């Protein structure tokens, strides 16, 4: 089996496919997924897996240049937000938009990773960077 | 969104499709999945989600008549095994076979649910029952 921290098959494939500027969304369990966007459904039940757990596993493999979050998430300062704060330079520059605007942006994502997070507005769009 | 405990899309669909005697495997992160068997990959990283968490979510929806485990799992008495013991009548009669025999049996499964469990031999084949 794979010996790195991230072992999910679909997520490993998608991250390996990302080029400069491609977008990957990590969303709570209730965020709508736009038609046509690949959905990687990791949600099992309430809180499993948590947004924070999925974020950390993704950041173990994905080079991130910047990210987009909703102002509703920033205002609430809940654990998913705290995890983004803790990620620091690993997620690059932050762009804050409205929740409705973020939903629109997800239409352009390469993939949408659905978590089991039951915290409202726990969504982030990660923009891929390169390692050279 | 769905308001029951089990929210995973693929798992919800597969459980809804099971007829009498159909088999669903819940496996650890390293169990080989036979070619041709549908794989529902919930594994994210070490221990997430745990075998126990996936078992409990599945049992919230699936009517189980009996189950098959490996004798290697019974001998070790680790948390995945304890969860099967605790499930009691919800998983019906138990059949114990060798780990190699269980691997052979998984060829006949309708689907294989891969967990993030890093405990050796944490695998069970659930045989579907009916509710009438």
**pLDDT recorded at residue B102:** 98
Q: Express each pLDDT in A7-30 by its tens digit.
A: 999 999 999 999 999 999 999 999
Beta strands in chain B (DSSP E): 23-27, 38-41, 64-70, 93-97, 111-114, 124-128
Interface residue B13 vs chain A (CB under 8 A)? no
A43·B11 Cβ contact <8 A: no
Cα separation of B74 and B81, whole Å? Answer: 7
Give chain A's mean pLDDT.
97
**pLDDT recorded at residue A39:** 98
Q: Express each pLDDT in A38-86 by its tens digit.
A: 999 999 999 999 999 999 999 999 999 999 999 999 999 999 999 999 9
Cα separation of A84 and B64, whole Å? Answer: 41
Q: Which residues of A touch B13 (CB under 8 A)?
A: none
Interface residue A46 vs chain B (CB under 8 A)? yes
**3-class DSSP state of B33:** coil
Interface residue A122 vs chain B (CB under 8 A)? no
Q: Express each pLDDT in B97-117 by its tens digit.
A: 999 999 999 999 999 999 999
Is the ipTM higher than 0.90? The answer is yes
The whole-angstrom distance between residue A30's C-alpha and the CA centroid of its chain comes to 14
Region A96-118 average pLDDT: 98
**pLDDT recorded at residue B16:** 98
Claim: this prediction has a pTM higher than 0.90: yes
């Amino acid at each position: 089996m794979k010996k790195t921290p991230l072992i999910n098959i679909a997520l490993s494939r998608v991250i390996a496919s990302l080029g400069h500027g491609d977008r990957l969304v990590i969303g709570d369990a209730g965020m709508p997924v736009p038609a046509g966007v690949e959905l990687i459904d990791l949600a099992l039940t309430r809180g499993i897996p948590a947004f924070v757990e999925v974020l950390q596993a993704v950041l173990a493999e994905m080079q991130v240049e910047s990210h987009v979050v909703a102002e509703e998430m920033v205002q609430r300062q809940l654990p998913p937000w705290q995890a983004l704060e803790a990620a620091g330079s690993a997620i690059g520059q932050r762009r804050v938009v409205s929740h409705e605007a973020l939903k629109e942006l997800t239409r352009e994502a390469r993939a949408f990773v659905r978590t089991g997070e039951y915290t409202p507005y726990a969504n982030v769009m990660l923009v891929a960077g390169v390692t050279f």
